[in-house]
Structure 1
Amino acid sequence: MEHGRRVAGRYHLIEPIGRGGMGVVWRAHDDLLDRPVAVKEVLHLPASEDDRAIFIRRTMREARAAGRVSHPNVIVVHDVIEEDGHPWIVMQLVQARSLGEILRDHGPLVPDRVASIGLQVLDALCTAHAAGVLHRDVKPENVLIGPDNRVVLTDFGIATMPEESTSTMTGSITGTPAFLPPERLNGRPATPESDLWSLGATLYAAVEGRPPFERSSPVATMAAILNDEPAPPRRAGELTPVLHGLLRKDPLLRMDAAEAADLLRAAMPGRSPAPGGTTGPSPARSTAPDGTTRLPSNEAPAPPGGSGSSSRARLLTIVLVPLLVAAAAFGGWYGYHSLAAGDSATGSTGGTTTGQPASEPIASPSQSPSPSPSPSPSQSPSETPAQSPPPSPSPPPSSAGPDDDVPAGWSRHDDPLGFSVALPDGWTAYDRKGRRVWFRKPGSRDYLLIDLTPWTDADPVAAMRTVERTSTRLGLLKGYARIRLDAGTYLGVPSADWEFTHTPPTGRVRVLDRAFRLPDGRCFAIYWQVADARWTTGLPYFQTFADTFRP
């Protein structure tokens, strides 16, 4: 290709600035809009015309995928063209060097710088996953670092959107072997967890100076990814836990984005440990060692009683808790005090003083000193559409019965909070705070929350509507869609069922939240969250939880 050529009559190619197995990237000028751009000339030697057509369709899909993601840490795609029988992708020109080039020129980086890079890449991935886009080729060469240390994730060259059929090149696996996760080498499709594994391999390479499974040949490298454990990091320091968590071979056991963000932040300088064990300078909440969110002790609800604004504050404490911890993971945290203030309850008895203004939302992982993960590993609550299978074993259809009539494969859990419920074998109470307890199976993103925090509204439906108005007004539920908010009767008392969907970074989830008050005055909420795509198989779990729940 001669310098000086114009593509599509408007993009003047000036000089090549990068080369790879899939083509050449040119510094160019857009004569129509009078701006510098980067133009990727995507090259491929097809075996047949059918192969060429598949390749072009894939590349067009790449441009659409990248164009769907708007984020400061993601390269901007301006245009896509087909000329001379192959695609050209017009992108934002970023004055930056790749992480791969930096490592080759200067060697391994110090852990705190790698942590900063990792947070920015993780933020970009979470945004892409929330849009339904997978990168599928996270590696040092695709991480650009500018002179101001801004990180840009580029080259969604093998990106795919889960809702589209996958076009792959015949007989090949696309991607760079040293950064391909084991599930893809085993022939399974890419998932958001796959991108997280590749991020872990990229960070390992950045701090150790070599990929975690690098061997003498691509085949040996892939075999090591499938069968070996990575060599213990020697230079990683405080990054070691996040490297181990992201490089777990089983995607169901792999560290999620929210926990990874907390651990990356903990590895940065100037971060003091939070009471829960990781970093968290924000007084709005602390974080447990397993990455779950915990509200601080001074946010305990006020005793029952009272009226007016204090009643609303207590109501928000109980019913908004699941939403608050969930919202923290996808960039909507305001803190309990902020919510109460927004509902004219600032000075109520039992209110809190988090020190965080009501107008200050949490930023994304690369911008905020302490984003909070979800109480469930779906993070963000988060992270990607949840890929974990439904918990095992499958529950039977709803079958209320006596206390000893627990489904096969389930067992009754007697909780110190004063209730019992049947749980699938293997499920545990993985977090507690005050009068709240969360249950899940290790590795699953679905979770059950039982909340006994008191509230004073006489009508549970009205209580739920207040929570719905407040949480949507504050932007805590991205992509929120109410399915129903119905009055009912449960255990012989009035109840409310609030069913809705929203979209954290990990993908769309569906929630069923049941609130009721017993004659003795105790208030309960049974909150069940599952990936929206698995709602049909997830709903029987809620029915069994409800059928076996006993105060």
Structure 2
Amino acid sequence: MERQVSNRYHLLEPLGEGGMGVVWRAYDQLLDRTVAIKEVRYSGVGDARLAELTRRTIREARAAGRLDHPSVIVIHDVVEEDGRPWIVMQLVPSRSLAEVIRESGPLRVGQVAVIGGRVLGALRAAHATGVLHRDVKPENVLLADDGRVVLTDFGIASLEAEAGLTATGNVVGTPAYMPPERLNGDPAGPESDLWSLGATLYAAVEGEPPFKRDSWAATVAAVLRDEPEPPMRAGALEPVIMGLLRRNPAARMPAEEAARLLYDAAGAPDRPATATGPAAPGRAGGTAEAPGLADGARTATGDRFPTGERRPTVTGRRERARTWWIAVPAAVIGLAVLGTAGVLLSDGWTATPTTGPATGPPGGEPPATPTPTPTTGPSTGPSTGPDPTRAPVPEGWRTYTSAAGRFSIALPRQWRAEKHATRDSVSFSRPGAAGTMMVEWTVPDIPWDDPREHWIGLEKEILAKKLFKGYERIRITPTRFLGLEAADWEFTRERDGLTIHVLNRGFHTRDGRPYALYWETTQSRWQRDRHYFAAFAKTFRPE
């Protein structure tokens, strides 16, 4: 007899089974799509406790479902049937990090640094909303076929942990990746997830976790009593791994510092011979630069590096990056190319969507500069030259300052600023109008030094993966902006039946911060509206 859940999800086959339930491949008959469903099972508890755990599982899974981060598994639905929770999730074609380690051995330092950065970004996004994971381990880190790194079991693992001891006295979870405070019965906190991340990174570079022993009890005792052996293969990752594995949660390395060290390790040379893993773990091939380190990898001031500190040297890193398996994912087509560094394509941009050509200038504001005469050739963009003197704010405009991005820019009246919830970007638009401006300051996994070559590399990625329908390059040209080396990438593409015209300017500040100034509008309005980009660029100033 065919089995259905909630009279909607047709169970096709089990994908895996663990101590807390079964994950099924299923078909969503309402939305005509394949999904993954976790059937959560609690055993060894009474009816009252089972009902409480079921309620809390549903509540926590719904909270996790509100997380918006590219490295967090998407939860579509949460239902209760047969007295237990069923969590409906995005089906991600992938292998787990645990599978890759088992089949191919330890990974290279650069690969692990990128994976760790993505997982850390997911954890920081969750912690910012009060959601803990409580079961970070290689089995729950998915290396997707499209190049993404996805952390799964949010909202499920947390309740599994709350179940604590079973009736037989066993701890629910994998003790080799559980922090000492949890094994001692103390409450979990964000630092607990960081400890588990450290153990996961250790396993990825060494091939096994730091406290693996011959038995369950011996492993628990080792976590509670022993100091971890320093990893032999970790290279540049050793400081972050050992910092995350500090026994005292209060002394554990903060997430901000771990993010910076992971960034540095992503660009560090891999150690030779025995210190490296397989050339291409996972099924996803790819030769492109890895997407950017997950957002949130910055100091309390909003910058990725302390004030005045130069970015790491980047000579020679680009070619090393091309050997990594993690490629720009096909799923990140999003609305537009979004920025300067690594994560330039976004699947989570929340700016007001383009609804079609506007009937007049966005917002009805007077032009900041005279509208140029239409031409048939490529636009030249504003000529700001080397003079960094602040341009006056156009009449009727106002100054917007971003503390997170450490910049200011002038906006037309009625335009709205929207900070992305998880990415280092702010978009500016007027609802109902075609034009959108965006400033992004995302720091990449692999830094770049030549803006023009960086755009060319990303264009090759887009063409190879056919990410943009109807893409046509107009120009990729070097320029000077605020006295700095920069490059303008101008192109058209098709979206929702419209031709979209884009100008994207990438550059670094003198202290190494990357920025992109991105402007798009419909092709029909390009000549009438391009003065907006000129005014935006002239009034933009990094702080």
Q: Does 1:296 align with 2:308?
A: yes
- How far apart, CA to CA, are the structure 2 residues paired with 1:174 and 1:137? 10
- Larger deviation: 222-231 or 200-209? 222-231
Q: Does 1:114 align with 2:112?
A: yes
Q: Secondary structure at the match of 2:53?
A: helix
- How far apart, CA to CA, are the structure 2 residues paired with 1:77 and 1:255? 30
Q: What's the CA shift for 1:62?
A: 3.1
* CA deviation vs aligned residue, 1:56-106 (integer Å, no higher than 9, x gap): 123213312321211111011111122122221111111111111111111
Q: What's the CA shift for 1:263?
A: 0.8
Alignment of 1:382-397 (within 5 A): none
In structure 1, the partner of 2:55 is 57
In structure 2, the partner of 1:509 is none
* CA deviation vs aligned residue, 1:393-426 (integer Å, no higher than 9, x gap): xxxxxxxxxxxxxxxxxxxxxxxxxxxxxxxxxx
Q: Pick closer, same or farther for the CA change 1:119–1:66 going to 2, 3 Å.
A: same
Q: Which amino acid in structure 2 is aligned with residue 295 of structure 1?
A: T
In structure 1, the partner of 2:439 is 360
Q: Pick closer, same or farther for the CA change 1:128–1:8 going to 2, 3 Å.
A: same
- How far apart, CA to CA, are the structure 2 residues paired with 1:130 and 1:286? 14
Q: Which amino acid in structure 2 is aligned with residue 193 of structure 1?
A: E
CA contact (8 A) 1:265 1:271 kept: no
Q: What's the CA shift for 1:146?
A: 0.9
Q: What's the CA shift for 1:343?
A: 9.9
Q: Pick closer, same or farther for the CA change 1:365–1:131 going to 2, 3 Å.
A: farther
CA contact (8 A) 1:158 1:175 kept: no
Q: Which amino acid in structure 2 is aligned with residue 362 of structure 1?
A: W
CA contact (8 A) 2:260 2:304 kept: no
* CA deviation vs aligned residue, 1:348-402 (integer Å, no higher than 9, x gap): xxxxxxxxx99533337879889xxxxxxxxxxxxxxxxxxxxxxxxxxxxxxxx
In structure 2, the partner of 1:156 is 154
Q: Pick closer, same or farther for the CA change 1:241–1:172 going to 2, 3 Å.
A: same
Q: Pick closer, same or farther for the CA change 1:172–1:62 going to 2, 3 Å.
A: farther
Q: Pick closer, same or farther for the CA change 1:61–1:139 going to 2, 3 Å.
A: same
- How far apart, CA to CA, are the structure 2 residues paired with 1:50 and 1:119? 40
Q: Secondary structure at the match of 2:114?
A: helix
Q: Does 1:178 align with 2:190?
A: no
Q: What's the CA shift for 1:250?
A: 1.1
| Residue number among 139, 142, 157 corresponding to 1:141 in the alignment | 139
In structure 2, the partner of 1:18 is 16
Q: Secondary structure at the match of 2:124?
A: helix
Q: Secondary structure at the match of 2:266?
A: coil
| Unmatched runs of 5 consecutive residues or more in structure 2 | 271-291, 311-388, 394-400, 413-426, 428-436, 450-539
Alignment of 1:166-245 (within 5 A): 168=164, 173-245=171-243
Q: Which amino acid in structure 2 is aligned with residue 54 of structure 1?
A: E
Q: Which amino acid in structure 2 is aligned with residue 250 of structure 1?
A: N
Q: What's the CA shift for 1:174?
A: 3.6
Q: Pick closer, same or farther for the CA change 1:138–1:185 going to 2, 3 Å.
A: same
Q: Pick closer, same or farther for the CA change 1:160–1:45 going to 2, 3 Å.
A: closer
Q: Which amino acid in structure 2 is aligned with residue 9 of structure 1?
A: N
CA contact (8 A) 1:65 1:160 kept: no
CA contact (8 A) 1:286 1:295 kept: no
* CA deviation vs aligned residue, 1:252-281 (integer Å, no higher than 9, x gap): 111111111111111113799xxxxxxx99
Q: What's the CA shift for 1:168?
A: 4.9
Q: What's the CA shift for 1:149?
A: 2.5
* CA deviation vs aligned residue, 1:203-232 (integer Å, no higher than 9, x gap): 000110000111112221122112211111
Q: Secondary structure at the match of 1:360?
A: strand
Q: Which amino acid in structure 1 is aligned with residue 102 of structure 2?
A: R
In structure 1, the partner of 2:126 is 128
Q: Which amino acid in structure 1 is aligned with residue 224 of structure 2?
A: L
Q: Pick closer, same or farther for the CA change 1:367–1:132 going to 2, 3 Å.
A: farther
CA contact (8 A) 2:260 2:298 kept: no
Q: Pick closer, same or farther for the CA change 1:220–1:169 going to 2, 3 Å.
A: closer
- Normalised to the residue count of structure 2, the TM-score between the two structures is 0.52
CA contact (8 A) 2:211 2:219 kept: yes
CA contact (8 A) 1:51 1:169 kept: no
Relative contact order (alpha carbons < 8 A, sep ≥ 6): 1 or 2 greater? 2
Q: Which amino acid in structure 1 is aligned with residue 136 of structure 2?
A: V
- How far apart, CA to CA, are the structure 2 residues paired with 1:117 and 1:286? 17
Q: Pick closer, same or farther for the CA change 1:52–1:106 going to 2, 3 Å.
A: same
Q: What's the CA shift for 1:7?
A: 1.1
CA contact (8 A) 1:265 1:369 kept: no
Q: Which amino acid in structure 1 is aligned with residue 203 of structure 2?
A: A
Q: Which amino acid in structure 2 is aligned with residue 76 of structure 1?
A: V
In structure 2, the partner of 1:259 is 257
CA contact (8 A) 2:201 2:241 kept: yes
| Unmatched runs of 5 consecutive residues or more in structure 1 | 273-279, 299-307, 313-319, 328-332, 345-356, 371-473, 477-551
CA contact (8 A) 1:309 1:343 kept: no
- How far apart, CA to CA, are the structure 2 residues paired with 1:188 and 1:150? 34
Alignment of 1:475-494 (within 5 A): none
In structure 2, the partner of 1:72 is 70
Q: Secondary structure at the match of 1:294?
A: coil
Q: Pick closer, same or farther for the CA change 1:364–1:9 going to 2, 3 Å.
A: farther
Alignment of 1:333-482 (within 5 A): 333=405, 335=406, 338-339=407-408, 342=410, 359-363=438-442
Q: What's the CA shift for 1:159?
A: 4.9
Q: What's the CA shift for 1:10?
A: 1.0
- How far apart, CA to CA, are the structure 1 residues paired with 2:309 and 2:191? 33
Q: Pick closer, same or farther for the CA change 1:311–1:236 going to 2, 3 Å.
A: same
Q: Pick closer, same or farther for the CA change 1:111–1:297 going to 2, 3 Å.
A: closer
